């Protein structure tokens, strides 16, 4: 009796273009990484300090949890890993964000290759990412936004690879992990997944969704994100409360469709409109990019969802690697055709992107000293988009929020050291918002290790509690007036002031030493002080 074994393994011939694509993507990724390293050192040399949110993320990293009031847990893990691996210097805490930006560039190159683009298309797509002001900005400091395009691009690349005939099991696992981590990074990833799902459902590529491999990937995604959902449920959905308060409080400027579209042009570099719009058209027409209409539908649905929700303009940026990839292919094939053969077209366009990218670089990263920046942008008629509705000063918020913190911390530490040893054991350090409290916890602890932890009613600081504070003795950073405080405390002393001319106007406030709450004053009720915004 003879046993016959049938080998069903499909052996695919090696794609000779893959190695070249991999090499080119690695070169562009290295350029991106080194660029951010150099620019971080340069901005530090110019006097720009930590950004407000960086203090908060670092403190969150020292209070690791499965969730936070206003963000997913990934940025806290990022901050903690950065501290443990590289230290807490300005350069060190930004390494992982710069690395995430480099990975996004790398994935853009691979995505362009997977969609059928070759060397010129890949180079053009990755250059678009390199010069786009929004990518330069979000990858230049510690934040969750730098990781978002990386998770997005991985999900799209996984779908493209499956449509090319590669292992659905492998790539659905990759997609499930990336989507799950993306949801842990930013809950807004859910709109990405909705858009992707609808984009596939509206096209013949919907077949990918109705397989056991797809079920495996989706289950894996839910398993990864489940701890965060359980955390939110356990604490009565603080994220939803935070989002509601931001909406009713008009925290973010509400933009109409035309204004929203206009911000996309400015934040993504005005000349890249000739890259991503042809890319979107090519995807929707599905001629030069066959079987890719699902990706065009995904982009349109995503744009529409965010516009209807009045989301922040930079929430759209994760879709652009796909649009740049498609646009690069459209340029490559259009100018390689017999009717429109023009070997200089793409190099000329790339040169214009580089030159104009350098000119508008100061709008993304503070590469000019503040006074020089003001003169330069005034002369060039450049205007920064507002991130939030708060009034700004001479600098946009992204730059202004890097000033004034050392002034605050010096006053707090000086006042703390002036107290008796008994008072030092009972004093509370209070900040109205997480920026002020975070600066005390980070910079203050570097100056005076015995400082107690700061407290604040703002977002996750409220969840960490008052640390036994009774409200009888406080060093407080607050915008409350001395007259208002005099109704609550018997002794109100102004011990310092944040008045840095370049800081955000709402951060121009007093630093108080407050003693002895008056008998008739409202009690120090931590529950009533909660401020999710």
Q: Helices 293-308 and 257-267, interaxial angle, to 10°?
A: 120
- Give the residue among 365, 373, 312, 359 at the shortest CA–CA distance from 140: 365
Q: Helices 95-114 and 74-86, interaxial angle, to 10°?
A: 120
Q: Is the per-residue pLDDT at 253 higher than 80?
A: no
User: pTM for this structure?
Assistant: 0.91
- Give the residue among 97, 98, 127 at the shortest CA–CA distance from 25: 127
Question: What is the per-residue pLDDT across 464-493, written as a single tens digit (0 to 9) for each?
Answer: 999 999 999 999 999 999 999 999 999 999
Q: Is the per-residue pLDDT at 235 higher than 70?
A: yes
Residue 174: pLDDT band with limits 50, 70, 90? very high
- Report how far residue 510's alpha carbon sits from residue 4's, in angstroms, rounded to the nearest whole number: 85
CB atoms within 10 A of CB 244: 12
Q: What is the pLDDT of residue 307?
A: 87
DSSP three-state, residue 511: strand
Q: For 521, left (φ over 0), alpha (ψ -120 to 50), or beta?
A: beta
Question: What is the per-residue pLDDT across 283-326, written as a single tens digit (0 to 9) for each?
Answer: 999 787 888 999 999 999 999 998 888 887 788 888 999 999 99
> CB under 8 Å to 16, separation ≥6 — which residues?
none
What DSSP string runs through 78-117? HHHHHHHHH-SSHHHHTHHHHHHHHHHHHHHHHHHHHTT-
Question: What is the per-residue pLDDT across 179-234, written as a single tens digit (0 to 9) for each?
Answer: 999 999 999 899 989 999 999 999 999 999 999 999 999 999 999 999 999 999 99
- Report how far residue 520's alpha carbon sits from residue 335's, in angstroms, rounded to the nearest whole number: 79
- Give the residue among 267, 252, 32, 40 at the shortest CA–CA distance from 142: 40
């Amino acid at each position: 009796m003879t046993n016959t074994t049938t080998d069903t393994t499909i052996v695919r011939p090696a794609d000779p273009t893959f190695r070249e694509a991999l090499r080119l993507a690695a070169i562009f990724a290295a350029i991106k990484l080194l660029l951010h390293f150099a620019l971080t050192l340069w901005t530090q040399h110019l006097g720009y300090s930590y950004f407000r949110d960086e203090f908060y993320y670092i403190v969150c990293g020292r209070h690791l949890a499965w969730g936070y009031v206003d963000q997913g847990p990934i940025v806290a893990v990022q901050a903690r890993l950065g501290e443990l691996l590289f230290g807490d210097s300005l350069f060190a805490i930004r390494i992982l964000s710069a690395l995430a930006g480099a990975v996004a560039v790398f994935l853009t190159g691979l995505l362009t290759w997977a969609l059928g683009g070759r060397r010129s298309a890949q180079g053009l797509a990755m250059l678009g990412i390199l010069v786009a002001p929004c990518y330069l900005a979000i990858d230049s400091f510690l934040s969750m936004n730098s990781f978002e395009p990386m998770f997005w691009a991985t999900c799209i690349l996984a779908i493209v690879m499956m449509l090319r005939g590669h292992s659905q099991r492998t790539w659905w696992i990759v997609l499930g992990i990336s989507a799950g981590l993306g949801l842990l990074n930013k809950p807004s990833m859910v709109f990405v997944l909705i858009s992707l799902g609808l984009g596939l459902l509206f096209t013949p590529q919907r077949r990918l969704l109705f397989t056991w491999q797809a079920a495996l990937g989706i289950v894996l995604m839910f398993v990864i994100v489940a701890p965060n959902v359980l955390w939110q449920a356990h604490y009565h959905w603080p994220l939803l409360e935070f989002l509601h308060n931001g909406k009713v409080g008009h925290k973010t400027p509400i933009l109409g469709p035309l204004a929203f579209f206009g911000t996309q042009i400015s934040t993504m570099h005005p000349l890249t409109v000739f890259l991503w719009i042809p890319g979107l058209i090519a995807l929707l027409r599905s001629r030069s990019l066959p079987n890719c209409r699902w990706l065009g539908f995904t982009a349109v649905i995503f744009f529409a969802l965010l516009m209807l929700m009045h989301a922040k303009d930079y929430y759209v940026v994760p879709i652009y690697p796909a649009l740049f990839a498609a646009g690069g292919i459209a340029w490559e094939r259009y100018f390689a055709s017999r009717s429109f053969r023009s070997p200089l077209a793409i190099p000329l366009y790339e040169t214009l992107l580089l030159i104009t990218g350098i000119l508008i670089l100061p709008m993304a990263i503070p590469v000019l000293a503040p006074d020089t920046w003001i003169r330069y942008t005034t002369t060039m008629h450049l205007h920064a988009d507002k991130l939030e509705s708060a009034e700004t000063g001479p600098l946009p918020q992204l730059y202004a929020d890097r000033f004034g913190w050392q002034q605050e911390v010096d006053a707090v530490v000086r006042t703390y050291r002036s107290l008796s040893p008994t008072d030092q054991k009972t004093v509370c350090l209070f900040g109205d918002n997480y920026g002020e409290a975070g600066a005390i916890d980070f910079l203050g602890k570097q100056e005076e290790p015995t400082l107690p932890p700061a407290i604040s009613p703002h977002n996750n600081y409220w969840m960490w509690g008052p640390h036994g504070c009774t409200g009888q003795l406080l060093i407080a950073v607050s915008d409350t007036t001395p007259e208002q405080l005099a109704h609550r405390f018997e002794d109100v002393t102004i011990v310092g002031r944040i008045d840095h001319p370049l800081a955000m106007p709402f951060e121009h406030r007093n630093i108080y030493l407050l003693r002895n709450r008056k008998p008739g004053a409202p009690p120090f009720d931590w529950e009533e002080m909660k401020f999710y915004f």
